[in-house]
Amino acid sequence: MGMGARDWKDWRPFVYGGLASIVAEFGTFPLDTTKTRLQVQGQKLDQKHASLKYSGMTDALVQISRQEGYRALYSGISSAVLRQATYGTIKFGTYYSLKRAATDKWGADDIVLINIVCAAVAGAFSSAIANPTDVVKVRMQVRGVEANVSLFSCFQDVYHNEGVRGLWKGVGPTAQRAAIIAAVELPIYDYSKQKLLNTLGDSVANHFVSSFIASMGSAVASTPIDVVRTRLMNQRRVRLACGGLSASIYSGSIDCFVQTVKNEGFFALYKGFIPTWFRMGPWNIIFFITYEQLKRY
CA-closest candidate to residue 150, choices 130, 166, 136: 136
* In-domain check, residue 2: no
* In-domain check, residue 199: yes
Q: What is the CA radius of gyration of the chain?
A: 20
pLDDT digits (tens, 9 = 90+) for 14-37: 999 999 999 999 999 998 888 888
Let me know how long the chain is: 297
Query: Mean pLDDT over residues 111-119, rounded?
Result: 87
Give the DSSP letter of residue 86: I
* In-domain check, residue 16: yes
* In-domain check, residue 286: yes
pLDDT digits (tens, 9 = 90+) for 214-236: 998 888 888 898 888 888 878 76
pTM, rounded to two decimals: 0.73
Q: How many domains does the chain have?
A: 1
Range of the domain at 43: 10-296
* In-domain check, residue 54: yes
Q: Are 57 and 278 in contact (CB under 8 A)?
A: yes
Q: Tell me the pLDDT band of 109, cut-offs 50, 70 and 90.
A: low
pLDDT digits (tens, 9 = 90+) for 71-94: 889 988 888 899 899 999 999 889
* In-domain check, residue 134: yes
d(CA 116, CA 273): 23
Q: Tell me the pLDDT band of 10, cut-offs 50, 70 and 90.
A: confident
Q: Are 33 and 76 in contact (CB under 8 A)?
A: yes
Amino acid at 102: A
CATH code for the domain in which residue 270 is found: 1.50.40.10
d(CA 220, CA 84): 22
CA-closest candidate to residue 81, choices 124, 32, 44: 32
d(CA 221, CA 182): 11
* In-domain check, residue 1: no
245 bridge partner residues = 239
* In-domain check, residue 183: yes
Asked whether residue 288 carries a pLDDT value surpassing 50, the answer given is: yes
Element (H, E) at 246: none
Q: Are 138 and 187 in contact (CB under 8 A)?
A: no
The pLDDT assigned to 158 comes to 87
